Amino acid sequence: MKYIIKNSIFALSACLMMILCLGSILTGCNQANETKTDGTKNIVTTTTMLYDLVREIGGDKVEVTGLMGPGIDPHLYQASSGDVSKMQEADIVVYNGLHLEGKMAEVFASLEQQGKSIISIEKGLKTDLLLADEENPEIHDPHIWFDVSLWKEAAKHVASRLSEIDMENAEVYTKNLENYLLELEELEQYINSRVAEVSENQRILITAHDAFRYFGNAYDFEVKGLQGISTASEAGTADVSHLASFIADHQIKAVFVESSVPPKNIQALKEAVSAKGFEVEIGGELYSDSLGDAASKHDTYIATFKENIDTIVDALK
């Protein structure tokens, strides 16, 4: 009898403990839900450029999470299960499009089918402003951020879409856009003043992959890259030899490595040029498919572009 009573008491105690634990879990869940009622939008972006852009336009009305960190190549980036979860849980997902995040296309399509709020920069740009891939005219070059005038259009599109999705804060997004456009105008003035230091016959930019055609088109540079517009394409021996001859024939002072592309191809190019009897320098590292990090102080679009133009001009002039 004592054994039965003892077991009953133990069972009753266990039940009470389960009820208390369950109550704690439910309370915790309620508290977690309460902390999300501050009105800010949880936004997930793909590239570092978009992370910075959305923070500029969204201000304190958004909380931004970037999937790709500094130095990450978006052409080759594959979303992890954790990335997919972040995008599913976000209020809004922002991506570049134009095949930049080439290995994530199915993820974006799936999110749209689920009714997720998506902002695609591609959809905010007129097709006639885009550059076609020379080898495949049906594909557009995705590196639109290297033309500040196009980045202004991207900013306008982000502000417009945020205002549609979050109408309550539309006035804030519009004001932030106005301020950011003024900063971009100052950036354009800086770029043009620095470009003027390089004579027209020296404005030839050679990099690891063809990421700077918008830059060349906007600021009057001839641009050549060892690889195509995507780093998924490999540069062959013939590509290296042909470009090395071009450099030697035109006596180009410098070529450039990129922060998100391994430097081996540019080093091989330098050696190939040397074998042709001309010495070309590596003029420095350019940020191509990623911004810099906080330690470099180049972790914003404007700071990164200024660093790039300073590196290019100082090496070529």
* The pLDDT of residue 2 is above 70: no
Per-residue pLDDT averaged across 287-312, rounded? 96
What are the sequence ranges of the domains in the chain? 41-192, 198-316
41-192 belongs to CATH 3.40.50.1980: yes
Q: How far apart are CA 228 and CA 122, in angstroms?
A: 20
Q: Give 173-208 pLDDT, tens digit per residue.
A: 999 999 999 999 999 999 999 999 999 999 999 998
**Closest-CA residue to 294 (of 44, 51, 40, 43):** 51
Question: For residues 177 and 157, what is the distance between their CA atoms, to the nearest angstrom?
Answer: 10
Domains 41-192 and 198-316 are alike in CATH topology:
yes
6: enclosing H helix or E strand: helix 2-34
Domain spanning 198-316: CATH 3.40.50.1980? yes
8 Å CB contact between 213 and 241: no
Instruction: Dump pLDDT digits (tens) for 219-266.
Output: 999 999 887 655 555 557 888 999 999 999 999 999 999 988 888 889
State the chain's mean pLDDT as an integer. Answer: 87
Percent of the chain with pLDDT over 90: 77
Does residue 32 have a pLDDT over 90? no
Q: Name the DSSP letter for residue 204.
A: E
* Beta-strand runs (E) in the chain: 41-45, 62-66, 92-95, 117-120, 204-209, 222-227, 254-258, 281-286
